[in-house]
Amino acid sequence: MSDLSLKISSSIYPLARMRRNRRHDWIRDLVAETSLAAKDFIWSIFVRENSLSPEISSMPAIYRYSVDELTDAVGIAGDLGLRAIALFPVIESEKRTHDARELFNSGGVLYKAIQVLKKNFPHIGIITDPALDSFTDHGHDGLYINDDVPNDESVQVICQHALLQAQAGADMVAPSDMMDGRVGEIRKLLDQKGYHDVGIMSYAAKYASNFYAPFREALGSDHCLKKGHKRTYQMDPANVREALREVALDLSEGADCVMIKPGLPYLDVIRQVKDRFLVPTFAFHVSGEYAMLKVAAEAGMLSYEKTLIEMMTCFKRAGADGVITYSAVDMLKLLKQG
C-alpha cells in the first residue's frame, strides 16, 4: 500500500467503517461477492463391477457403487438438485491389460452404467473420461511401450474410448490424459460419427500431483503404477504459463470448456485461466483434498461442513464456474438446509 493510500484510509475513519457491512447475517449475505448453488457441483463417483468391494480405505464415506447402487444414489442426489456427474469405472484387476482392451467391451460396467443412468435420469448430465488408467495393467493414462507413454499411439485408443462413451450416451467427454492433440482428434472423430452435440471438457491443466493418491487406490491403479510416475505427460506444479498455453491449444482444438486439476493448491491457475480466456472453467476438488478435509474433521481438528463451504466458495471466488467434487451430495444437502 502506498503512503498516499494510507493517508486516504486514515483520513476518512471514522466515517468509513468496513465492519458495518459485516455486522449482521442479512447484510453479509446482501454484499457477498460470491454465492453457491446446486448447479455449481458435479458429483465425482465410482461405478464398480459387482465382484469388487465398495469400500475405499483412503476416502472416508466415499464408495464404489454397483450399477444398481449407483442408480439409487444418483436418484437421491437428483432429488437434492444434482445436475451432473463425472463417472469413473473400477474393473477387476484380471481384466486390466497392457493394451487396455477391456475398454472395447461394449458390455463393460462403464457403458452399462451410462446407459442405465441416461435412461433413468435423462435430465442429469453424464461426463466421462476416455483416459486409459482404469483399464491398463501399468496404470498409465495412455499406452505404455518401451518404458514410455507414446503420444500419438495413445491418442488413437483414447479417441476410440471417447467414441464408445458417446455411443453409450455420455453427454460430455473429459479427457484427463494430457496427451498432445487429443482434443482435436476426439472432436474430429465424434463429428465424423455424428456426435456433434457431445461436448468436450478438457483437463487442460492437469498437474502431476500427489493429491491423486486416494483416487488411484479407488481405481486399483496404485498397485499397477508401483514406482512409476506420470510426469512426462502431466504438468509440472511449478508452472503456470505452461498451463495457459495448454488451455489455449485445447480451445483451439475444439474444447467446449476447460478444467484445472487439482483444485485448492492451484487457485491462481484457475484465476489466470478465467481472466485470460473468459471460457467456462472448472476445478476438480480431488481425492487427496477431500481425504485431508474428512480425516481432519474426524479427528476433531475442524468442522467438515463449514470448511467444505469455505473451500467451495474459494473455488467460485477464484473464477471456477463449477466444481467436480466427491462432496457434491454433501454440498447439496447443506444448500437445502440454507
Please give the residue range of the domain that contains residue 9: 1-32
pLDDT in tens, 92-109: 999 999 999 999 999 999
**pLDDT given for residue 4 in this prediction:** 52
- Residues 109 and 89: their CA atoms lie apart, in Å, by 7
In this predicted structure, the answer to whether residue 23 has a pLDDT above a threshold of 90 is yes
**pLDDT range class, residue 9, cuts 50, 70, 90:** low
In this predicted structure, the answer to whether residue 1 has a pLDDT above a threshold of 80 is no
Residue type, position 320, single letter: A
**pLDDT range class, residue 223, cuts 50, 70, 90:** confident
**pLDDT given for residue 334 in this prediction:** 97
Q: Which one, of 131, 128, 129, lies nearest residue 142 by Cα?
A: 131
246 carries a ligand binding annotation: yes
Q: Are residues 53 and 99 in the same domain?
A: yes
In this predicted structure, the answer to whether residue 69 has a pLDDT above a threshold of 70 is yes
CATH code: domain of residue 214: 3.20.20.70
pTM, two decimal places: 0.94
The domain total for the chain is: 2
pLDDT in tens, 71-87: 999 999 999 999 999 99
What angle separates helix 241-252 from helix 267-277, to the nearest 10 degrees? 50
**pLDDT given for residue 227 in this prediction:** 63
Q: Are residues 305 and 229 in the same domain?
A: yes
Q: Are residues 186 and 80 in the same domain?
A: yes
**pLDDT range class, residue 5, cuts 50, 70, 90:** low
Q: Are residues 9 and 93 in the same domain?
A: no
Q: Are residues 202 and 248 in the same domain?
A: yes
- Residues 193 and 286: their CA atoms lie apart, in Å, by 33
DSSP lists the bridge partners of residue 88 as: 46
Lowest mean pLDDT among 6-20, 23-37, 92-106, 284-298: 6-20
Give me the active site residues, please: 206, 261
pLDDT in tens, 227-273: 689 999 999 999 999 999 999 999 999 999 999 999 999 999 999 99
Q: Are residues 84 and 233 in the same domain?
A: yes
Q: Are residues 16 and 46 in the same domain?
A: no
Q: Are residues 169 and 117 in the same domain?
A: yes
**pLDDT given for residue 16 in this prediction:** 85
What mean pLDDT comes out for the span 277-290? 98
**pLDDT given for residue 180 in this prediction:** 98
Q: Are residues 191 and 171 in the same domain?
A: yes
Q: Are residues 24 and 90 in the same domain?
A: no
Q: Is 121 left (phi over 0), alpha (psi -120 to 50) or beta?
A: beta
Q: Are residues 132 and 262 in the same domain?
A: yes
- Residues 68 and 58: their CA atoms lie apart, in Å, by 24
Q: Are residues 101 and 221 in the same domain?
A: yes
What mean pLDDT comes out for the span 185-212? 98
**pLDDT range class, residue 224, cuts 50, 70, 90:** confident
